[in-house]
């Protein structure tokens, strides 16, 4: 077991507990709870095993749903972005991306921001679609997606500075 | 074989995703009542449409038999009409005061071999059907509507272990609650009849007027056997149903026109 794996396990549980016990109780303006835990999927090594990531994010979403009495929205949302991640990476970094160490130097700032934004927005869109699950609530879904994505994006961007290697 | 394995390996992420997605949908279905109702509604629409196609084919093949049944029923009605005209009594007003509106419907799917049975009929809220309406057939009670889509409705059969119907004796009006034990599609159990009343084998059981779903006096069955426990004040009565729910084709849905008033009274007296 090497150092990367240990760091991943640590991140997994840290983000899980942070999300379920702290961030889900923020209720900014009554409905905004930034979903920082998807940072785990975002900072997962870009050349890591995608199959493992799908299983891990399923476990992450499921545990979060169980801890927060959620109905299953987080499970489906994290599972979906873990599955779509290779596509999003190819879209934002270009077909011949060659950044083995993740969000580290070697890519343009705009590319990194695009990647981050796409991951966050996709996640929230799926999450709120599953939670509301009806066409008549489209406006609510879009509104929640927009505002919560905005705060998650800011928090994720700030937190990425913490994970950056020296 | 090798190609098959290669294809599986190539799409292993997609397959894994699909599998886990199905697991999470099952999870969602179990955890949230709202999602459960949406899923079951969608399933009802799909299954009722599929069953309708099959039923249409078999109905076409059974046309001659249905014709005979209708003929028999027509003869019966004709006889009633003649009796009615002969009597010439001022009972015409009975139809106006009868508090139920009647819709005809055809059974699309019928089950009777599970512990909780449901039927699907081919009338939905476009025709005016709503939840909690009673459903009867030409010779007995069928069940109560529990879910409605635009063109179909699902009916909780009286052969459902959790359903209880108010029933009473035709001869003296003693009432109890009728439930199904889940073993035989023609046997039901009548509980809560006080031992103060006399019971004989062969007594007719009809619907009681205390239910919002059915008018008083629709025949349900006959007493098959009964027991009087020593320590309790209630009989254990076994009923044999008059109608055979395993071979029904057409049913009638009853809409209680005065249900609003009844509900209002119940709410006010609470």
Architecture per CATH, domain B63-161+248-257, reads as Beta Barrel (2.40)
| A133 close contact with B: CB closer than 8 A | yes
Kindly indicate the confidence band of residue B249, based on its pLDDT and cuts at 50, 70 and 90: confident
pLDDT 10s digits, B12-22:
888 888 999 89
- DSSP state letters, chain B: -HHHHHHHHHTHHHHHHHHHHHHHHHHHHHH-HHHHHHHHHHHHHHHHHHHHHHHHHHHHHTHHHHHHHHHHHHHHHHHHHHHHHHH--S-THHHHH--EEEEEEEEEEE--SSSEEEEEES--GGGT--TT-EEEETTEEEEEEEEE-SS-EEEEEEEETT--EEEEETTT--EEEEE--SS-TTEEEEE--BTTS---TT-EEEE-TT-SSS-TT-EEEEEEEEE--SSSSB-EEEEEESS-GGG--EEEEEEETTHHHHHHHHHHT-
pLDDT the model gives residue A125: 92
* Pairing assessment for the beta strands B250-256 and B175-179 based on DSSP bridges: unpaired
What pLDDT sits at residue A96?
Answer: 61
B119 pLDDT above the threshold of 50: yes
What stretch(es) of chain B map to CATH 2.40.10.350? Answer: 165-243
Q: What pLDDT band is residue B89 in, cutting at 50, 70 and 90?
A: very low
What does the alpha-carbon distance between residue B76 and residue B59 come to, in Å, rounded to a whole number?
Answer: 23
C-alpha B180/C-alpha B162 separation (Å) is: 8
pLDDT digits (tens, 9 = 90+) for A10-55: 888 888 888 888 887 777 777 788 888 888 888 887 777 888 889 9
Question: Using a CB-CB distance cutoff of 8 angstroms, which residues of chain B are in contact with residue A79?
Answer: 17, 20-21, 24
Looking at the complex, report in whole angstroms how far the Cα of residue A69 sits from the nearest Cα belonging to chain B.
9
3-state SS assignment for residue B224: strand
Which has the closest alpha carbon to B240: B226, B229, B228? Answer: B226
**ipTM of this complex:** 0.80
Q: Is the model's pLDDT at B127 over the cut of 80? A: yes
Residue ranges of B 24-53 with Cβ closer than 8 A to chain A: 24-25, 27-28, 31-32, 34-35, 38
Report pLDDT for B93.
46
Identify the pLDDT of residue B91: 46
Which member of B13, B23, B32 has the closest CB to residue A51? B13
pLDDT tens digits along B142-194 = 888 988 888 889 998 888 888 888 888 888 888 888 888 878 888 888 888 88
Shortest distance, CA B25 to any CA of chain A (angstroms): 8
Of residues A81 and B85, the one with the higher pLDDT is: A81
Q: For residue A50, give the nearest of B13, B25, B31 by CB distance.
A: B13
List, run by run, the mean pLDDT of 10-residue segments along chain A (166 residues): 80 87 79 86 82 90 87 89 88 66 62 88 91 84 89 88 60
| Alpha-carbon distance B161 to nearest alpha carbon in chain A (angstroms) | 29
Q: Is B20 on the interface with A (CB under 8 A)?
A: yes
Nearest CA in chain B to A74: B24
Q: What's the domain count of chain A?
A: 1
Chain A residue closest in CA terms to B9: A51
The whole-number pLDDT of residue B92 equals 47
Residue B197: helix, strand or coil by DSSP?
Answer: coil
Q: Is A141 domain-assigned?
A: no
Q: What is the mean pLDDT of chain B?
A: 83
Average pLDDT over every residue of B196-201: 86
Looking at the predicted structure, is the pLDDT value of residue B200 above 60? Answer: yes
pLDDT of B98 over the 70 cut:
no
Is it the case that residue B95 has pLDDT exceeding 60? no
The tokens describing B221, both together, are: 């069955």
**Nearest CA of chain B to the CA of A166: how many Å?**
34
Q: How far is CA B115 from the centre of its chain?
A: 14
Quick check: A75 and B35 CB within 8 A?
no
Class of domain B165-243: mainly beta
Q: What percent of chain B has pLDDT over 90?
A: 0
Interface contact A72, partner B, CB < 8 A: yes
pLDDT (tens digit per residue) in B41-77 = 888 888 888 888 888 888 888 888 888 888 888 877 8
Are A79 and B20 in contact (CB < 8 Å)? yes
Domain carrying residue A156: 3-136+147-163
* DSSP-based three-state secondary structure for B212: coil
Distances (CA, A) of A45 to A58, A85, A113, B98: 17, 11, 17, 74
Q: Which chain A residues are closer than 8 Å to B24 by Cβ?
A: 58, 61-62, 72, 75-76, 79
């Amino acid at each position: 077991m090497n150092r990367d794996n240990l760091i991943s396990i640590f991140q997994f549980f840290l983000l899980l507990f942070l999300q379920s016990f702290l961030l889900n109780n923020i209720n900014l303006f009554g409905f905004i709870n930034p979903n920082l835990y998807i940072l785990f999927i975002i900072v997962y090594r870009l050349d890591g095993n995608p199959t493992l990531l799908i299983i891990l994010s399923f476990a992450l979403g499921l545990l979060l749903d169980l801890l927060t009495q959620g109905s299953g929205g987080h499970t489906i949302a994290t599972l979906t972005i873990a599955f779509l991640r290779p596509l999003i990476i190819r879209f934002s970094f270009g077909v011949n991306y060659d950044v083995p160490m993740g969000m580290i130097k070697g890519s343009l700032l705009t590319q990194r921001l695009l990647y981050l934004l796409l991951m966050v927005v996709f996640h929230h869109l799926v999450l709120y679609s599953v939670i509301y699950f009806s066409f008549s609530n489209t406006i609510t879904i879009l509104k929640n997606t927009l505002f919560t994505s905005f705060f998650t994006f800011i928090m994720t961007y700030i937190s990425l500075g913490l994970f950056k290697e020296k | 074989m090798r190609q098959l394995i290669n294809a599986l390996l190539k799409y292993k992420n997609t397959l894994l995703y699909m599998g886990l997605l199905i697991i999470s949908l099952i999870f969602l279905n179990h955890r949230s009542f709202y999602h459960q109702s949406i899923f079951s509604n969608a399933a009802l629409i799909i299954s009722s449409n599929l069953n309708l196609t099959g039923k249409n084919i078999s109905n076409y093949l059974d046309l001659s038999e249905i014709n005979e049944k209708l003929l028999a029923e027509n003869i019966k009605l004709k006889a009633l009409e003649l009796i009615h005209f002969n009597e010439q009594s001022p009972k015409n007003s009975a139809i106006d005061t009868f508090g139920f509106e009647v819709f005809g419907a055809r059974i699309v799917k019928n089950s009777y071999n599970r512990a909780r049975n449901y039927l699907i009929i081919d009338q939905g809220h476009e025709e005016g059907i709503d939840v909690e309406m009673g459903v009867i057939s030409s010779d007995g009670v069928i069940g109560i509507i529990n879910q409605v889509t635009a063109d179909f409705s699902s009916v909780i059969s009286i052969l459902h272990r959790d359903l209880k119907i108010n029933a009473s004796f035709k001869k003296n009006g003693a009432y109890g609650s009728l439930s199904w034990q889940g073993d035989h599609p023609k046997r039901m159990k009548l509980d809560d009849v006080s031992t103060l009343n006399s019971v004989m084998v062969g007594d007719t059981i009809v619907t009681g007027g205390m239910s919002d779903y059915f008018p008083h006096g629709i025949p349900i069955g006959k007493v098959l056997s009964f027991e009087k426990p020593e320590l309790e004040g209630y009989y254990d009565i076994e009923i044999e149903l008059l109608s055979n729910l395993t071979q029904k084709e057409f049913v009638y849905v009853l809409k209680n026109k005065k249900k609003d008033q009844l509900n209002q009274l119940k709410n006010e007296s609470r």
